[in-house]
Amino acid sequence: MTSAVRFQKVSRHFGSVRAVDGVDLDVASGEFFAMLGPSGSGKTTCLRLIAGFEQPTAGAIEIFGERADGVPPYRRNVNTVFQDYALFPHLNILDNVAYGLMVKGVGTAERHREADRALELVKLPGYGTRKPAQLSGGQRQRVALARALVNKPKVLLLDEPLGALDLKLREQMQEELKSLQRALGITFVFVTHDQGEALSMADRVAVFNNGGIVQQGTPQEIYRLPKTAFVADFVGSSNLLSPDLMALLGGDRRWASLRPEAVRLAGDGTEATVENVSFLGAATRLAVEMHGTKLHVMLPAGADVPGVGTRVRLAWNRQDIHYMDDAA
């Protein structure tokens, strides 16, 4: 496996703050890799370290086998798409997209041809004469993407680029970004705090917390086999079952996770009380209390929904219980 980006014990400290603390990371060439975590977890600092906007306090960074720590941003074959798009308001769209080529000294005719191709790639042909203010948020996001792609980077860095879009447009752009990445074969490194984005688009996901990676794997592995309570809770909602509760239920006295969609109402299950009912369209979520623990149950559309205060019985398959390393 050819590594596009490799971190070896990389740290970045700001005074006493350890923004990134001993991170090991290996992103394969042509991979769509997501860095997922809450604010302050270290994911964006790692992206900035790849881009060259930050330099590591310790450790080594390689991009396609070449040492990158100490190398300035303009000498790295990477480009970044930012959440705020950072378009020049006084330039038309064609010149915005061609800006990087202009800085490199590419002639006007050639850079405009390349910019036109990039706009076609992001489904904005014929938009070159407009100004950024004349475009919607989704269109400006596409222009920012085209501006990054026109330089033909080997690694494209995306810093929460869909965060400013509404839900429907964000979902549409998720599909288009993934299709574009497959078509181009470029390595994408995508930073997000949205677990739905990471799970739906990435080939692999690294979950960050407190400056380090707590788990890496495919979206399916991260979702179904969380190593810690933090991962189970952050990557999709999960029911965290304490060691005492597990022992009471006849299982091992260890922390475990149980996804809400794995729980069903069954006459021979464990008794619980419905505390809240939330209609979500495609499903209904119940908040229930069982043996002093609050759990969530996801009922499919069309299922009978018990009312608040109703006594119900819950059941699940033994294999849906996933034991974790710890509760951290």
Residue 215 has pLDDT above 80, yes or no: yes
Residue 328 falls inside a structural domain = no
- 66 and 161 assigned to the same domain: yes
Residue 195 sits in the same domain as residue 250: no
| CB-CB contact of 189 with 50 (8 Å) | yes
Q: Which CATH number fits the domain that encloses residue 242?
A: 2.40.50.140
Mean pLDDT of the chain: 91
Residue 165 has pLDDT above 80, yes or no: no
Domain check: are 224 and 294 in the same one?
no
Q: Is the pLDDT of residue 322 over 90?
A: yes
Compute the half-sphere exposure of residue 79: CA atoms within 13 Å on the CB side of its CA. 18
Average pLDDT of span 314-319: 93
Question: Helix, strand, or coil here: 246?
Answer: helix
Same domain assignment for residues 124 and 259: no
pLDDT category at 327 given cuts 50, 70, 90 is low
User: CA-CA distance, 211 to 228, in Å (whole number)?
Assistant: 16
- With respect to residue 39, please indicate whether it lies within any of the assigned structural domains: yes
List strand residue ranges (DSSP E) for the chain, in order: 3-14, 17-28, 32-36, 58-63, 66-67, 78-81, 155-159, 187-192, 204-209, 212-217, 239-241, 256-258, 264-279, 283-290, 293-300, 311-315, 322-323
Do residues 124 and 33 both lie within one domain?
yes
Among 245, 146, 178, 141, CA closest to 30: 178
Count of CB atoms situated within 10 Å of the CB of 215: 22
Pair (174, 32) in one structural domain: yes
- What is the H or E stretch that residue 145 is in? helix 137-149
d(CA 2, CA 178): 21
| Residue that the structure tokens 């705090």 belong to | 193
In 3D, which of 184, 182, 177 has the Cα closest to residue 150?
A: 184
Model confidence at 1: pLDDT above 70: no
Of the pLDDT bands very low, low, confident and very high (cuts 50, 70, 90), residue 326 is: low
pLDDT at 328 over 60: no
pLDDT in tens, 21-69: 999 999 999 999 999 999 999 999 999 999 999 999 999 999 999 999 8
pLDDT of 186 higher than 70: yes
Clarify whether residues 279 and 164 are in a common domain. no
Asked if residue 221 and residue 241 are part of one domain, the reply reads no
pLDDT-based confidence at 137, cuts 50/70/90?
Answer: confident
What span, in angstroms and rounded, lies between the C-alpha atoms of 65 and 99? 28
Strand partners, 25: 7
User: What is the tally of structural domains in the chain?
Assistant: 2
Share of the chain above pLDDT 70, in %: 98
% residues pLDDT > 90 (the chain): 69
111 and 169 in one domain? yes
CATH of residue 7: 3.40.50.300
Q: Do the domain assignments include residue 202? A: yes
pLDDT of the residue at 325: 78
Same domain, 251 and 284: yes
- Specify whether 307 is located in the same domain as 220: no
pLDDT band at residue 292, thresholds of 50, 70 and 90?
A: very high
Return the closest-CA partner of residue 173 out of 199, 125, 141.
141
List pLDDT tens digits, range 245-268: 999 999 999 999 999 999 999 888
Domain that holds residue 182: 3-228
Residue pointed to by tokens 């010149």: 95
Q: Rounded to the nearest 5°, which phi and psi values hold at 45? A: -60, -40
